[in-house]
Structure 1
């Protein structure tokens, strides 16, 4: 930090130092030698005061200086001039060397400048190509950004679809588990149902066997009854034929008696007896015909009942075969973790 105050002695030392160095003690040079301290106005004032004091001191000293001192001063002045000339010559030599070095450096710099210019030209060409490449790259980047935006939108859609798919998968797994539980329940219920149906089938088979035996016995009984009815029908038919024969004979006798009894009471009584006999035979014949009709009707009913019993027996046999096939198809599923394939 610069000080706020500068002393005259400091200004004098700085000025004398500049003079010894061969530098013009200007205001700026003195201030620089002071370390850029103090204001220029103060330094200028102090330098004027020093000059005034030195002039005054020189005038006072000039009056009392002896010839010896003047000679000494002359020698010092000559020595100072000689040293100054040597200093100047050395400075000139150094300056010439510096000028030559500067010229060489300028030549080198000129060459370097031309090389730099060529390099700049090449770099400019490269820069133009790079700019074109950059423009193409920026265009490609913009297109890629567009593609990326589209891909991001597609990715978002795929993520939504994935979420929906996962939710659907969870729902399907839940439904699959429910179906598996339902299948297990169905298997258990089916097993119980098959056991119940097996027991019912055994009972039904036993009942059908009992009914079949009953039907077989009934058929045998009906066959016996049918044979009996056939014999009775043959007997009744033979009796009816015999009664028809007797009726025809009675009618012929009646006609003959009527012809013979035309003039006699005995014949009339015989005719009446014959008429009663004919009436009785006719009544018997009608009764036999009714009995034969009833026998035919009973025979037809028995034959129909026998046919029904046979049909029922065959139906029972068919139902038994159907139940057997159903039981064969209702074999238990294999006890595995998966449902039977259809």
Structure 2
């Protein structure tokens, strides 16, 4: 009576025992090893699962090769596969690190380039502002020069007017002297008219003296105005000198800024060279990764060749096994013929 409750463990134990005995595990042989118990529909999926997990043992049992040889080939293949995986992973990590470093270097170079461009733009704006200031100072200098020329021309005009006033005062003094001479002359000649003409002459003298005083006052005011204009002229000349010094200082600062701009341009060029070096290094690492891939492909080809060699060895063993079987059959046939010939000879005697 067939017992129920056949498990995967029972099927696996029976199949392993059959392989150890050199027999091929089938559904029938496993069922027989289990004491003819269990249904084939129950044993079949368990046996299929066991065969998937123990393909090497089944191949060894079917080919007749030593299990140690198959395990050695499998171990060598797994070892080569693991080495290839480790090398590929190391090269992949190295490539990723190199790409990250190159990306970081490129970001740093881009940041430095942007900073240099910003500084360059600021320097250009500062240079433009200084040029504007310099043009304004030049315009102020020209305006001050024009004002100074106008002031000098006005000063010359005032000096001419002062000379004219001095000549006028001289003429008035000369007229006064002539009048006094005439007065003395007429005083002796015309004693009769002395009292009559005296008032007229005194009025005229008073008027002339008043005009002389007014002329002297105008001359003094003209001298004060001239002194004031000369002071203003001195101030303008001082401001002109100060503007020249400021213009020179601004020009020196512009030269210094231009030098700084040239230095920043050199740093920008050096940064570009460093970026090209980083790109070259990244290209070299890419070539190394390509070479590693070629090496990995070589390892895969070697593994394929080893698998092909193992397959050919298995085929050769199968051929030898078949030849051995044929030889055994031929030997059995010869033994039977010898026995038949011996029996015939005995019967003939």
Shared fold by TM > 0.5? no
Bigger relative contact order (CA 8 A; separation at least 6): 2
- Report which of the two structures shows the higher radius of gyration computed on alpha carbons: 1
TM-score, normalized by length of structure 1?
0.39
